[in-house]
């Protein structure tokens, strides 16, 4: 009705109104904030649901999109130039209470990217049944995912299937852990490819 809208949020009924005519003068700082939000939204679309696996803790009515934006809005940018740009080593695609995966090395092979990691089974909250999730995004927007169980060995490795793609065609590569029941995750680790 008019400029009023209603919605239900966390079991509460909310009535909001929207201004009919908005005249905003955007300052440089406001334009910078809008650009940051736009860049994060683009990255979120490229991730195609990976954040749903990585941002599973402390929901409290928030979507994985909201948690992704909140975790990265103030920290995932390189602002040394005229305009901010995404800094993939600073970007978090997963956040939680499980210990981070310790990547011991990466090797680019003919069948893909091999990520070697330490299992760290002696750390608290770490289980052999945890899942290790690794993925890479190519310059053409292709998302390649590999998931496996942590296992009982001291070290492990998994291969992200990336056949016939050169290292310079990979935009970013990450790895994180997730509990077997899917209720906990670790902070993501950026995997640097050489």
Domain ranges (residues) in the chain: 25-190
pLDDT mean across residues, the chain: 91
| Lowest-confidence region among 50-54, 77-81, 116-120, 162-166 | 162-166
* Residue 10 reports pLDDT greater than 70: yes
pTM for the whole structure: 0.85
pLDDT digits (tens, 9 = 90+) for 65-124: 999 999 999 999 998 988 999 999 999 999 999 999 999 999 988 889 999 999 999 999
* Residue 24 reports pLDDT greater than 80: no
- Calpha distance 161→110 (Å, rounded): 9
Whole-number pLDDT of residue 1: 64
Secondary structure class of 22 (helix, strand, coil): coil
- Rounded mean pLDDT of 37-61? 91
Could you tell me the fold of the domain covering 25-190?
Answer: Immunoglobulin-like (2.60.40)
- Calpha distance 190→97 (Å, rounded): 17
């Amino acid at each position: 009705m008019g400029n009023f809208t209603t919605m239900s949020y966390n079991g509460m009924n909310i009535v909001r109104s929207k201004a009919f005519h908005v005249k905003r003068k955007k300052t440089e700082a406001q334009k910078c904030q809008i650009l940051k939000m736009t860049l994060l939204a683009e990255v979120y679309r490229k991730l195609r649901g990976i954040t749903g696996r990585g941002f599973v803790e402390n929901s409290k009515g928030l979507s994985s999109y909201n948690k992704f934006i909140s975790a990265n809005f103030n920290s995932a940018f390189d602002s040394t130039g005229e305009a901010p740009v995404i800094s993939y080593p600073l970007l978090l695609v997963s956040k939680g209470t499980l210990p981070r995966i310790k990547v011991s090395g990466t090797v680019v092979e003919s069948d893909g990217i091999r990520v070697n990691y330490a299992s760290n089974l002696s750390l608290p909250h770490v289980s052999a049944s945890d899942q290790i999730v690794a993925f890479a995004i190519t310059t053409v927007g292709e998302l390649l995912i590999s998931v496996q169980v942590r296992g009982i060995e001291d070290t492990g490795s998994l291969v992200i299937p990336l056949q016939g793609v050169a290292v310079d065609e990979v935009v970013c590569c990450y790895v994180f852990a997730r509990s077997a029941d899917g209720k906990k995750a670790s902070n993501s680790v950026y995997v640097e490819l050489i």
